[in-house]
Amino acid sequence: MFRELAIRGPSGAILWGYRTAAIVDRWTVKRSRVQGARVWTLTGTVAHASPFELRQTGLHFSAPRQGGFFLWPLLEAPRLDGARLTVTVGPPEQ
C-alpha cells in the first residue's frame, strides 16, 4: 500500500450545503501517516471565500474529476495564512 498519496487539481470548492464557502485554486489533498494513523490534508490557494460560511460545520471540499467529482468532508475549520488554506479532511466519500 502507498505510504503517501497526493491528488492535485486546478480548482475546487469548499461547500456548505449547496452554498460555496470558498473557491480553492491549485489544491492538493495528501494522505500520509502520522503516528500510525492515516491523515488527509487539503492545501491550496483561496481565490474567493466567505468568512462566515467557512466557520460553519458540515463543510465539504469538492473537486471535479473525469466521470464525476471528489468529495472530502472537512474535519475542522480551515486555517488561512493570507491566501494559503490548510485543513484536515476525512477520507474521500464514495
Instruction: Give the pLDDT confidence score for residue 33 in this predicted structure.
Output: 83
- 75 assigned to some structural domain: yes
> Is 94 contained in some domain?
no
Model confidence pLDDT, tens digit, residues 8-26: 999 999 999 999 999 999 9
- Residue 10 counted as domain residue: yes
Q: CA 49, CA 31: separation in Å to the nearest integer?
A: 25
Whole-angstrom distance, CA of residue 69 vs CA of residue 61: 10
- pLDDT over 90 for what percent of the chain? 84
- Model pLDDT, residue 26: 97
pLDDT at 36: 79
Domain of residue 64 covers: 5-89
Burial 24-51 (b: 16+ CB within 10 A, else e): beebebebeeeeeeeebebbbebeebee
52 band by pLDDT with thresholds 50, 70 and 90:
very high
pLDDT for position 2: 65
On whether residue 62 sits in a domain, the answer given is yes
How many domains are contained in the chain? 1
